[in-house]
Structure formats: structure tokens, C-alpha cells
Copies of this chain bind each other. A is one copy, B any other.
């Protein structure tokens, strides 16, 4: 009978991936030197770096980032948590973040809360488990557990979209001011009976903040500030439906201030189809400055929010912070711009 092979293979390796040690061996250096050749190229001699890189190429080595992250407790992952992917606003922020972060070798871990703060908390917990280098989240509102967790985390946290007292870094705009800005524009234009239309303001609470600004301006002028809140997402469809509801509930309405451009454009297109003149019969204003608004006739009056810039700026500040630079600002106001179109 044949002797069994000694139980030499205690290894638990389940994949036959090339490891750094093999690369090192091929290059005739120690593993740690190979590691340095890849991660701190300035700390090894030119010749070793060359031969390590050559071995990497030849063997098709793909670094195991998980092992590296565990050993160094740094991961070059950045968690990005948004409340929705349907709303293109968040996607544009992600895009701005992405292009800046990827260029610096960071990867984005994407999470979607669907406007649920408990879900956000769960996602944050999970992401912390990934030892993310930083975390970006949309908005300043979190549930208590989440807030505590983040506040004690010890890595950079970037809260985007709105401006205010955040946990750490903050890039956003002043939504109350934006609401005031548009309301003032409408009042200046001579409209008096103005309805604000939003969708699920408990979710899209930034739209609620804009309403607060709107209301403050109207009250100051002694005007009513009726609110119509749709219980749907803020889509073209909802905008179209809201128009009918406004006309029914507030027949004398002269202008509608919509919480976003989708709603506004939906209403505008619906008005057109119904033969209503905009702004003759009814004026319409939106928020965001989506391209669509500039292509419909009449062009939509709206407030331009620099969404990609917001993402880019947030990413830049994070990178600055992560690279240890002390020169960064905790808060950035990305300003909005009133874009007067033909619809008011």
C-alpha cells in the first residue's frame, strides 16, 4: 500500500490567484519589498521596482485589496449614500463625486436609502464594516443611532445637498434661501395667488425647506401661501396631475411654484396640451435647472443648482482631508442661480 502524502496541504487557499509572495519570488525579492514597489514606489530602488513590475505583468498579478485593507486598515473605498436613484439630481452628484474620486484611485460603494432613515442607518453600519476611507451622505438629517455612529466614527464624513451644521464636512446650498428667491421673483412679477406644489415633502424635506422660504416671503407681503402636496414621486406625471388639482382647489391661482423641474415641466406640458397659456393663464416655476426646462416652450423659470459641481467639490474636499492637508473648509456654499425663463 502506498504511503499517504504527508498532510502538507493545510492551506485554506480556495483560489489559485497569484499572490504578492509569488511575484516577489519571481522578482527575487522579499514580499515586503514587492509590496513597497507597488505601493510606495519611491521607497525602493529603480532596478527592484522594474523587476517587480515586470513580474507583476508576467504573472498577471492582481493585488488582493481585501488583504491589503485588513493589514493597513485603509481601504480606498468611499461610501456614498443617496436617498434615490430615480431623482436625477442625486445621480449628478454621484457623477461629480465619481469622476473626481476614481481619478484618485478611490472606489465608490453605493447605497440607496429610498428616503428611509432606518435604512440609512443599516447602510452606514455595513459601510463602516468596510473600513471606508470616508462616507458621503445626502442631507443632514439622520436618525439618532446613525448620528451617534457617524459622529464617533473618526473618518471624514461629507454631508451634501443642503447647507447647515453637519457632523463634519458639508457642501450644499441654502434651500430656504432658494425658496425665498423664487417666491420673491414671482411676487416681483406681480403674481399674488401663488400655490407651492411639492411631492412627499416628508421625504424630500429639502423641498419642504424651500417651501418654508417661499412661505416666509409671501407672508411678509401679506399673501397666502397654500401648499399642495402630492403623495407620489416628483415626476412629470405627478406634475401633470397636480396641475388639475391646483386648478380645482385654487381656481384663481396665477402662478405655481413647483418643488422641482420635473413637476414643473410635467405641469407645463400638460397645460400646453390643454391649451392653457403659460404664463398668460398660469405662470410656472421649478427648481434644479434641468436641461429639459430650457428646451420646452416657454422656457422654464427655475433655480439652477450646481449638482455635479457639488459632487466634485465634495470629492475634492474629501481628498484634501484624506491626504492630511489641513487646508480645507468644513462648509461650502455652492450657490444657486435664479434662471428666469419665459414661463413666469
Report which A residues bind B (CB closer than 8 A): 14-15, 60, 62-67, 69-70, 73, 75, 77, 85-86, 88, 91, 94-95, 98-99, 102, 107-112, 125-131, 149, 154, 235-237, 240, 265-266, 269-270, 272-273, 291-292, 295-297
CB-based nearest B residue for A113: B102
> CA A66 – CA B66 in complex, angstroms?
6
CB-based nearest B residue for A127: B107
B residues within 8 A CB of A15? Answer: 73, 154
Cβ–Cβ contact A109 & B111, under 8 A? no
Cβ–Cβ contact B66 & A131, under 8 A? yes
B residues within 8 A CB of A109? Answer: 77, 107-110
> CA A108 – CA B95 in complex, angstroms?
15
CB-based nearest B residue for A290: B236
Q: Given A15-B73, A73-B15, A108-B109, A237 and B65 touching (CB < 8 A)?
A: no
Closest Cβ–Cβ distance, residue A126 to chain B (whole Å): 7
Cβ–Cβ contact A98 & B70, under 8 A? no
Closest Cβ–Cβ distance, residue A144 to chain B (whole Å): 13
B residues within 8 A CB of A235? Answer: 291
Q: List 20 A-B contacts (CB under 8 A).
A: A15-B73, A60-B149, A62-B129, A65-B126, A66-B69, A66-B70, A77-B109, A85-B98, A99-B112, A102-B112, A107-B111, A108-B110, A108-B111, A109-B109, A236-B292, A237-B291, A266-B295, A269-B295, A270-B295, A273-B297
- 8 Å CB contact of A110 from B88, B110, B149, B292: B110
Cβ–Cβ contact A295 & B237, under 8 A? yes
CB-based nearest B residue for A154: B15
B residues within 8 A CB of A237? Answer: 291, 295
> CA A199 – CA B306 in complex, angstroms?
25
CB-based nearest B residue for A296: B269
B residues within 8 A CB of A73? Answer: 14-15
CB-based nearest B residue for A73: B14
B residues within 8 A CB of A75? Answer: 66
B residues within 8 A CB of A64? Answer: 70, 129, 131
Cβ–Cβ contact B130 & A65, under 8 A? yes
> CA A20 – CA B312 in complex, angstroms?
37
B residues within 8 A CB of A270? Answer: 295
Cβ–Cβ contact A112 & B125, under 8 A? no
Cβ–Cβ contact A272 & B297, under 8 A? yes
> CA A109 – CA B149 in complex, angstroms?
23
Closest Cβ–Cβ distance, residue A341 to chain B (whole Å): 13
B residues within 8 A CB of A131? Answer: 64, 66
Known contacts A236-B292, A240-B295, A292-B292; 10 further A-B pairs (Cβ under 8 A): A62-B129, A64-B70, A66-B66, A88-B88, A88-B91, A107-B110, A107-B127, A108-B110, A237-B295, A270-B295
B residues within 8 A CB of A126? Answer: 65, 107
Closest Cβ–Cβ distance, residue A187 to chain B (whole Å): 29
Closest Cβ–Cβ distance, residue A67 to chain B (whole Å): 5
B residues within 8 A CB of A102? Answer: 111-112
